[in-house]
Each structure stands twice: as C-alpha cells, then as structure tokens.
C-alpha cells in the first residue's frame, strides 16, 4: 500500500507545530511528511517589533527549521509556494511541484494597506525578518545622516507608526527605549525626535480593558510618543503622510520613516488558488478543514474562526496558531489511520499580554489584569513558551528571554 503524503506549507507557528507533532504521532511507515518554507529558518513573528526597533538582534528572533524537525520523518524543502492546485492535489513551487494527499496551509499573514495611496511604495511593514532588518537599518540611517547635512532636516527624526493595535503599540514600546540610545550614538538632540502614532479607530488597542489601555497610553506618552487617535491616514508620500483633519481638510505630517502596522490579511496564494476566502482567510470547519475540501487544512493567520461569545472573529495570534497545529496534527493522524473521529478545535485563550518595551507591559492572564514588571515577566514567559512548544527545552536555552525582573 502506498504511504499517504502530507505536505505542510509554511514553517511559522502553525506549520511548525503541526510538523513537530506529526513527527511524534506518526510512524515512519505510516506517512511521508514534507515541510515547505521560503526560508531555511523559522522566525518569531511576535518578536519582529523588537528586531525592527533594533532592541533585539535579528538572529535572536529566528532558528533553523532543521533544528526542530526529525529528518528521518520530515523532508524539508526550501522553496516558495506559487499556487495550490486543489483539483490535481498538487502544490506548484517556484522550483518544483509537490503532490499531496493531505495539505496543511499555514502560510501566515500579509500586510493589508486597504488601498491607501502610496502606503505600499513608501511605508514599511513589520511583516518578516527581512523587513524588520530593513526598518532597523532605515531608522538608523536617518539618525546617521541627520548631522551630515548642513541644512538639517528634522523630519529625518520623525517616525510615524500607522496603527495602535497590538503590533503598533509593541513597536512603540521598543522604539521609546531605542530612541535615547540612537540619540546618544549619533549625537542627536532627543527633543528633535518625534514618534507619532496615528490610528483611525477611536481608541488604542480596541478590545483591550480600558484601564490597561490608559496605562499603556500614559506610559508611552511619558516616553515621548504622540498619539493621534481617531485620525485616518489618507495617503503616504516619500515625504511623509497625509491625514484627515476635521470633515474635509487634510494635513501633511513630514516623516522620513512611516511604519504601517494597522492591518494584516491572509495569504494571497489562497485566493489565487480558488479556495473560498475573505481577504485571504478561510472560514474553516470545526475540524480545521477548508469548506468543501476534505484533504486541506488551513491554520494560523490564514484561518478564520468566530468567537461565538461576541460573534466576531478571533484575532490571528501565535497562541491560536500553535493550538491549531496540535489539533491539525491529531486530525491528520486520524485520517491517515482511517479513523473518522476528527477533533473540533476550540481556542483556549490563556492570556494576552501586550509588551511596552523591555520592562513594562499590560495584559490579562489567568483572568487577572496586570501591568508593569509582572506583566513584562508574563510576556517573556509567553515568548519562551512558544519556543518550548516547538523546539523543546534546548531551544528555550538557546533563544529564550531571561532578562526578567
């Protein structure tokens, strides 16, 4: 009998969790497992704001995919996915093609600019390790250039962060700590630097407890961050951004650095492959399979799951992606063994902590609100837990965060 072939697309939180669980649950003779990823490394998406701000070395944010997979059970293919051929049960890659019996789509999120003019061309987004390194270097270059110009341009020292959601706020927290270091390194007057957060929604961190939100805003404002809440970005130019001002007017904010952190969407590969999706996210069945596709699982940021309590989608998080990986591996194992008792996925939200830099944070964990050093400690434990879940204790030792309290 031919062994079924399981192909996993993406080595993010969801894909890597699926692969590492499958290599434990399935015997060598039960299935062939292939993991496909663009890079030979996994990166911690939830830590990219640190690499972008320059507060954590980029190399600390990633590890080699091959260091966590069992190469006797999982083949690793470094390639880029071009298209999924659902009818032919095959995946077209840039450098080849892979047939599958079971497919796991864990391709992660892409930046979503909602058609705002110039954003794609002139703003950066914190979306992968390459872009994080570029943002870090771009900001540093602006500081390095400031004093070399006879006619000093203060806009070189202005950084606009579009979006006061999770990514935006965590990035601001890191920036607030990084700016004084940059000022010292490049002999720049701290008072010339502006960090402006522009958010169209009427509040920072929508969905978060208002008391915690106030704590975060007060903390960041004390560190020099300016908030423009309820302000929509209308466009982005090489010189800065255009924002709405009142009903009909607009205003220009000159800034050499614009970071767009206000929107993510699922994968464009999914749409291009004709799988039913909304902005690249598939509203999956309770067993995590795509509607009408018996052999395709979709997990992580490409999946959409409704929180019945509030009748709104769960935000895409690493926590959910990893939990989905566990369920997905169980369900594929069952299918390979011709069992039909597929598990229903239910997220188990243990807590949500938003970092405000090295030593402060806000969050809720175990049903308790927390701020300051307690929350910051909890955040680092969450970060370490993701390393542990996929890479085991040795990965925590190698890449973990221990600068706590």
Q: Tell me the catalytic residues.
A: 170
Q: Out of 4, 60, 79, 186, which residue is the one contacting a second copy (CB under 8 A)?
A: 186
CB of 142 to a second copy, least distance (A): 9
Task: Determine the angle formed by the axes of helices 318-336 and 13-25, rounding to 10 degrees.
Answer: 30
Residue closer to a second copy (CB basis): 23 or 125 = 125
Residue number, 73 or 133, with CB nearest to a second copy = 133
Binding window for a second copy (CB under 8 A); candidates: 82-90, 106-114, 135-143, 333-341: 135-143
Q: Which stretch binds a second copy (CB under 8 A): 183-191, 218-226, 289-297, 314-322?
A: 183-191
Q: Is 371 in the site for a second copy (CB under 8 A)?
A: no
Interaction of residue 67 with a second copy, rule CB under 8 A: no
User: Which of 42, 136, 265, 399 is in the footprint of a second copy by CB under 8 A?
Assistant: 136
We find the least distance from the C-beta atom of residue 134 to a second copy, in angstroms, to be 4
The CA-based dihedral angle spanning residues 324, 327, 332, 333, taken in that order and rounded to the nearest 10 degrees? 140
Q: Per CB under 8 A, does 148 bind a second copy? A: yes
Q: Where are the beta strands (DSSP E) in 69-170?
A: 74-78, 81-85, 90-93, 96-99, 102-105, 110-111, 124-125, 158-162
Is residue 133 near a second copy by the rule CB under 8 A?
yes
Instruction: For residue 315, give every residue at least 6 positions away whose Cβ sits within 8 Å of its Cβ, in sequence order, or none.
Output: 166, 207
Shortest gap between Cβ of 130 and a second copy (angstroms)?
A: 4
Residue closer to a second copy, measured from CB, 60 or 234? 60
Window 103-132: residues binding a second copy (CB under 8 A): 130-131
Q: Does 134 bind a second copy (CB under 8 A)?
A: yes
What is the rounded CA–CA span in Å between residue 287 and residue 299?
A: 10
Q: Which has the closest alpha carbon to 380: 30, 106, 50, 135? A: 50
Burial of 200 (0-12, 13-18, 19+ CB in 10 A): middle
189 binds a second copy per the rule CB under 8 A: no
How many CB atoms sit inside 10 A of residue 355's CB? 28
Alpha helices of 231-303 — where are they, by DSSP H?
A: 268-272
- Residue of 262, 232, 293 lying closest to 113 (CA atoms): 262
β-partners of residue 353 are 363
138 sits near a second copy (criterion: CB under 8 A): yes
82 binds a second copy, rule: CB under 8 A = no
Contact 316, 109 (CB under 8 A): yes
Residues making contact with a second copy (CB under 8 A): 39, 58-59, 130-131, 133-134, 136-138, 140-141, 143-145, 147-148, 185-187
């Amino acid at each position: 009998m031919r062994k079924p072939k399981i192909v996993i697309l993406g080595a993010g939180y969801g894909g890597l969790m699926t692969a590492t669980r499958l290599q434990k649950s399935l015997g060598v003779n039960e299935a062939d497992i292939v993991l496909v990823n663009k890079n030979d490394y996994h990166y911690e998406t939830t830590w990219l704001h640190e690499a972008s701000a320059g507060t954590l070395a980029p190399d600390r944010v990633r590890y080699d995919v091959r260091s966590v997979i069992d190469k006797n059970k999982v083949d690793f293919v470094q390639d880029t996915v071009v298209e999924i051929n659902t009818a032919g049960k095959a995946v077209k890659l840039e450098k080849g093609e892979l047939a599958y019996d079971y497919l796991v789509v864990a391709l992660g999120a892409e930046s979503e600019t909602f058609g705002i003019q110039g954003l794609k061309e002139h703003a950066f987004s914190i979306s992968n390790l390459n872009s994080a390194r570029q943002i870090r270097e771009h900001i540093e270059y602006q500081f390095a250039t400031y004093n070399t110009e006879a006619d000093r341009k203060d806009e070189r020292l202005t950084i606009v962060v579009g979006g006061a959601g999770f990514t935006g706020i965590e990035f601001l927290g890191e920036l607030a700590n990084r700016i004084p270091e940059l000022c010292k390194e490049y002999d720049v007057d701290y008072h010339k630097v502006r960090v402006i957060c522009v958010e169209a929604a009427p509040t920072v961190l929508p969905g978060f407890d208002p008391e915690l939100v106030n704590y975060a805003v007060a903390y960041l404002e004390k560190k020099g961050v300016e908030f423009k809440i309820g302000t929509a970005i209308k466009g982005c130019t090489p010189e800065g951004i255009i924002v709405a001002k009142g009903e009909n007017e607009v205003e220009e904010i000159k800034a050499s650095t614009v970071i767009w952190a206000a929107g993510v969407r699922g994968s464009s590969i999914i749409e291009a492959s004709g799988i039913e999706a909304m902005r690249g996210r598939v509203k999956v069945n309770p067993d995590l399979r795509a509607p009408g596709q018996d052999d395709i699982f979709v997990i992580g940021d490409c999946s959409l799951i409704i929180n019945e309590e509030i009748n709104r989608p769960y935000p895409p998080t690493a926590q959910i992606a990893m939990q989905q990986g566990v369920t997905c591996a169980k369900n594929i194992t069952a299918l390979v063994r011709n069992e039909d008792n597929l598990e229903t996925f239910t997220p188990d939200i243990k807590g949500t902590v938003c970092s405000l830099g090295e030593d402060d944070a806000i969050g809720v964990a175990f049903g308790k609100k927390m701020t300051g050093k307690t929350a910051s400690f909890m955040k680092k434990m969450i970060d370490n837990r993701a390393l542990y879940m996929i890479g085991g204790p040795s990965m925590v030792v190698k890449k973990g965060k221990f600068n706590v309290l």
